[in-house]
Amino acid sequence: MSDKRPADSIDERFVYAGKRRKYVSFPLGGIGSGSVSLTGAGRLVDWSIRNRPAIHQFNGYSHFAIKAERDGKLLDARVLNGPYEGDPTGSPSTRKFDGYGFGANRDSLAGVPHFDDVTFVGRFPVAELEFRRDAFPGKVRMTAFSPFIPHNDRDSSMPAALFAFDIENDTGGPIDYTIGATLGNYGCDSGVHAFSTSGTLSALHFAPADLSRPAAERGDLTITTDGDGVEHVDYHFRGQWFDSLGRYWREFARPGPLRERSYAEPRAAQNMFRQPEHGTLARRLRLAPGETRRVRFAITWNYPAGSIYWFNRDQPGDPEYAGEAPTWRNYYATRWADSLASGAEAFARWDALERETCAFRDSLFGSSLPLDIIDAVAGTLAILRTATVIRLEGGELWAWEGQHIREGSCEGSCTHVWNYQQALSNLFPTLERTLRETEFRFNQLPTGGLTFRQRLPLGSGFDIIGPCADGHFGAILKAYREWKNAGDGAWLKRYWPNIRRALDYAWSPDNPDRWDPEGAGVLWGRQHHTLDMELFGPNSWLTTMYLAALKAGSRMALAVGEEAFANQCTKLADKGRAWVDANLFNGRYYAQKLDLSDRAEIERFDQGRKAGVLRESFMEAYWSDEYGEIKYQIGEGCLTDQILGQWHADIAGLGDLLDGGNVAVALKSVFEENFRPSLRDHFNPCRVYAYENEAGLLICTWPDGAAKPAVPAPYAEEVWTGLEYMLASHLILRGMVEEGLTVVRAARARHDGSQRNPYNDIECGSYYARALSSYALVNAYIGLSFDQGLGEIGFRPVRPGEATYFWSAGRGWGEIEFRGSRATLSIKGGELEISSVSLPAMPGRATVDGKPAARQGDRIELGARRVLKAGDSLVMGVEPLGAP
């Protein structure tokens, strides 16, 4: 019996209805192109398409609407929205007389007739909505998606949101339906709107009337549709008060064609509520009884230049740049001349883009992976198509940590946050490699240290704080991961000098933080990290990042012919391992070794500068006269991140950094001490991301008998989904499957739509990048290993038996199906170049496609390198060794 879920079998957790629909907001757009979100009720919100976030912001009253007529009489007219999800008292607004205290948000069209109920099915990257009202003469369903195709970063960066409406006439007579798309000319109170046709396509293009705007404020949008029966209203009525929406609806909600309207001159006066100009593109079609027709719309945008409004600021919390800020140019603007061009391509390739996007969806959601893992991965992949991510002109990725409502949160592809992200290296590895390339080219100081925030424009200087230990060593071990995944020796040679300088920096006399001046394989000095302060003295958290980098460095050094340096790195890693196990492991977990009462431990690092993100002097920040202690340390605490480097090493196939038994005990202790089935009695003075009866994993605890610092590390009492997914995947990798799934289950229960958006994991802002650690759950569960240089892919699922799993590696993606004594490896997209397949769970004499094959241990040899393309498959069979 097959364990693969049928494509049409949708688990109820992905069906958002009733209370679970309230907070759903599903991003649509390309990677690095900005996005607009679709709420659970069908509203278009969060218009983050003009190169900065715009969360909770509307684009005027942009929406879809439908009307039904028969024999010249209007049967019904409604906007394609469900019940209002917001606060009836009002929502935050930048406009006076139009926010909290002024009623339901008018741009949500809560005051316009709409449908009584909506069911939202969210299976990223596709959303499906069914609108219901018993009195409406017909059935209406929406499918919304943007291209998201593994290993196809070009199409997956398209600045487009695609909508298909299936309209069914379930009455006994013919009905004329008109379905319209209304769009605001985002940010333009005076626009130039132009209707055009080309072949079967019709488009309404929106551009600003004011051509003197700065480059960062210029751009255009387009609504495109195909087919006959097209109607257009180039402009809505120019008025004040509520005239524009009022006249539009009165003209829409009446029988007959829409009234065309056009203006030859720019608008004379701004709308008093700062509304943009609007236009509508519609299709009118007659449906016989029982007939169903599909109507398609594409909303596309093109805002080529973005303002670097944070330029040259010292810290993420500082004000925006006061002068005329420099700009960056979007990658998508180099591929599509304007929004008309991207709309035309979307329709020209719609079927292929939808087919390939849905193929990814169906492989992921139809797999035998636990639903909690599918939910975590699908929910967080949405981050990649939000304003958290920017794609620069040359195709390079640049990113925020997350998003404030109207600006990015914490700039610079922050390495100590993006360290956790695992999705790109598997699904879009060419994009992941750009992060390595730009950090080695533009973040590396003359001393070899890697700053952890990248400035724009690229090459315009270095962040003032300097290197952070976790981000610095993460760059090295991820460079190893990227080289291993691509098998590109030329790439490694190109960046090896940078990688080696970064390794040398650990013990360099030019390192002011004195990480490992004696070459002990242990970090001793001042170590900046992702908790936004510094640790002092040895700790397993940051030292395991160092040890992982040393092991990765050793392997890369051998590959480029530097055997002596490879041996040096190996010896350092061995020394560090022995010291950490002997001195930091307390029998249950690894702790920090530091005398908190010894002021001298930190005085030697006082260089007269401010302390990290704080405004205080170094000693004021780190020493408490009142308690006689060093502040912001872990001490005897049980830190969730305590063996973070081992997680990275396990992912990269680097083996044990520390004693394997100790690692298992430490992971078990983290689960037992830091996971809370209920937070009802938990005290948290920090940011509250989980609370009351919700379950969650704490960043750090001090078990009974452990002394808690008077002023511990910041955020210690918080719950971060990025750490939950990281720990869960590590538990699964080390055989503690149920414990790992318990942690994932808790995180996803908090994001079920009734309390939080399933597509927005928050931390320091919305759509927070650390949550992309979730993808590690896939590879941990299926036991994926891959080495392009060796041409080997392997699978070792944690659960035996018949199953089908989604995978992505190298330059391709597909499925692996286990049935009895056979395993079928199929390629769904891209290509896979391999010479062997490792299947430890299937011992015995091997065959490939029915022919005998050699076997070396777990590896089934293919005889030669084979390049498998989409549609190809390999069938591997085994016979027990004792069989005749």
What's the CA angle centered on 721, arms 717 and 727, to 5 degrees?
A: 90
Work out whether the CA dihedral 186, 188, 189, 193 comes out positive or negative: negative
Question: What's the confidence (pLDDT) of residue 304?
Answer: 97
Judge contact between 579 and 487, C-beta under 8 A.
no
Share of the chain above pLDDT 70, in %: 98
Overall residue count recorded for the chain in this entry: 884
The values of phi and psi at residue 367, to 5°, are -80, 170
Residue 348 to residue 357: CA distance in whole angstroms: 16
Query: For the chain, which ranges sit under pLDDT 50?
Result: 1-7
Q: Which residue reads 């319209």 in tokens?
A: 180
Backbone angle region of 274, left / alpha / beta, with phi > 0 → left and psi within -120 to 50 → alpha: left
| Pick from 183, 191, 399, 215: nearest CA to 301 | 183
By CB atoms closer than 10 A (0-12, 13-18, 19+), residue 289 is exposed
Residue 313's pLDDT is 87
pLDDT at 884: 52
Encoded tokens for 502: 């970064």
The C-alpha atoms of residue 2 and residue 7 are separated, in whole angstroms, by 13
- Of all residues in the chain, what percent are helix, strand and coil, respectively (each to 5)? 25, 25, 45
Report whether 68 contacts 176 (CB < 8 A).
yes
Each residue's pLDDT tens digit, 643-689: 999 999 999 999 999 999 999 999 999 999 999 999 999 999 999 99
At 356, give phi and psi (nearest 5°): -75, -35
Confidence (pTM): 0.97
pLDDT of residue 1: 31
> Per-residue pLDDT tens for 325-367?
999 999 999 999 999 999 999 999 999 999 999 999 999 999 9
* Residue for token pair 């690229």: 458
Q: What is residue 612's predicted lDDT score, i.e. its pLDDT? A: 67
SS3 at position 549? helix
Looking at the DSSP assignment, which residues form a beta bridge with residue 144?
127, 163
Q: Residues with Cβ < 8 Å from 743, sequence gap 6 or more?
A: 671, 675, 697, 724, 725, 727, 728, 731
What CA–CA distance (Å, rounded) separates 584 from 597?
19
Residue type, 443: N
User: What's the confidence (pLDDT) of residue 7?
Assistant: 42
Question: Which positions ≥6 away from 772 have C-beta within 8 Å?
Answer: 380, 381, 383, 384, 420, 421, 422, 423, 424, 722
